[in-house]
Amino acid sequence: MPLLMRTVTWNYQQNTLDMIDQRRLPAALEIVSYHTCAQVAQAIRGMVVRGAPAIGAAAAFGLALAGFESKAQTSRDLLADMDAAASTLKAARPTAVNLAWAVDRLMADALRLSGFKSADEIRLGVLAEAQRLADEDVEINRRMATYGAELIADGDTIIHHCNTGALATVDWGTALGVIRMAWEQGKKIRVLVDETRPRLQGARLTAWELEQYGVPYEIISDNMSGYFLRTGQAQKVLFGADRVAANGDVANKIGTYMLALAAFDNGVPVYAVVPTSTIDLSLAHGGLIPIEERDPAEVLGIQFQGEQVAPLNAKARNPAFDVTPNRLLSGIVTEKGVVSAPFEINLKKVIK
């Protein structure tokens, strides 16, 4: 069963950006409406919306809001206002390249339109381009899912990291989209959903989505993956990515590297499922990808049996992503097909 709405939607009656508040799931399915670009940037930072493609789409609509907020009469002044908004949006989260990719795509379109359109026509043109980007995201995810599902065998148990489903995209999902497609094709699969500390995107969001789709799953804590891989109880490992470097190194949710290492050591195939908008050929290798460090409170805030776990004055570190070296990957699934090693050469072929 599909979700009832897209994660990120433009409301044409109210001229607002409506988003599922992912901080509240699974306790409540709440929709929040945003009226300004600054609010959208804050929602991205605060993870009301999260997941690389979803924040790209949110930023695109955020830029459309910036256009409507601007009092500019001329296309030149409008572009200056939108440029400032673009910088604010891009600074919201640093690792997922889809954010900058979406904002740059919209700004390029606004610049093109400014050659022959009025300020008001540019405002509408930017909204139309944001809508196109969002619609394309759904279409791209479905294509990736079709390619990815071919890699899944009937009876597979799949370990999945973080949340890469409809909630992490405009709709459908990347790695979770592959799982959903394989299930809809009738393959009897199971999913081991790792919790994904510290924000628990697996236990909260992926588990919630799998409930909607009826796919059998069990939640495991992150440190259990090695056990299941070593005892032959998982046949595939799937995750998404926030940025893929030119050599195929993959930045994804913290914990991905350890999971990929354990899978590689046990000969279990590992696939990253990513739209080509997540591939950043400007960075030669994963060591150059900026890694977001978030508030240590996210690590320290966890409770056990109703009590805070850590001592009151405890300190913590909270890198939100890590980089998995390309040698651990069996392939990278894109909307243009499955890319295999040598990634430096083959990724270039899918980005044209």
Contact 343, 285 (CB under 8 A): no
Distance, CA of 51 to CA of 31 (rounded, Å): 17
Catalytic residue among 109, 242, 249, 280: 242
User: Token match 């910036």: residue?
Assistant: 66
Q: 293 - beta bridge partners?
A: 319
CB 332 within 8 A of CB 244: yes
Tell whether residue 240 is a contact of ligand MRU (CB under 6 A): yes
CB of 164 to ligand MRU, least distance (A): 4
169 near ligand MRU, judged by CB under 6 A: yes
User: With CB under 6 A as the contact rule, which of the stretches 44-52, 225-233, 257-265, 338-346 interacts with ligand MRU?
Assistant: 44-52
Question: Taking CB positions, which residue lies at the least distance from ligand MRU?
Answer: 240
Active site includes 242? yes
Cα torsion 143, 147, 150, 154 to 10°: value is -40
Phi, psi of 188 (to 5 degrees): -85, 85
CB of 51 to ligand MRU, least distance (A): 4
201 binds ligand MRU (CB under 6 A): yes
Nearer to ligand MRU, 16 or 252 (CB): 252
Residue 52 binds ligand MRU, judged by CB under 6 A: yes
Q: What span, in angstroms and rounded, lies between the C-alpha atoms of 276 and 53?
A: 11
Q: Does 320 bind ligand MRU (CB under 6 A)?
A: yes
Alpha-carbon gap, residue 321 to 86, rounded angstroms: 23
Instruction: Examine residue 51 and tell whether it contacts ligand MRU (CB under 6 A).
Output: yes
Does residue 129 bind ligand MRU (CB under 6 A)?
A: no
Nearest distance in Å: CB 77, ligand MRU: 34
Q: How far is the CB of 174 from ligand MRU (least distance, A)?
A: 4
Contact 240, 274 (CB under 8 A): yes
Q: Which of 168, 229, 244, 246 binds ligand MRU (CB under 6 A)?
A: 168
C-alpha distances out from residue 248 to 133, 341, 342, Å:
24, 8, 8
Residue 130 contacts ligand MRU per CB under 6 A: no
**253 contacts ligand MRU (rule: CB under 6 A):** yes
Smallest separation (angstroms) from ligand MRU to the CB of 283: 17
List the strands of the sheet with 243-245, edge to edge. Answer: 279-280, 243-245, 250-253, 321-324
Written as one letter, the residue type at 86 is: A
The site for ligand MRU (CB under 6 A) is made up of: 50-53, 96, 162, 164, 168-169, 174, 201, 239-242, 252-253, 320
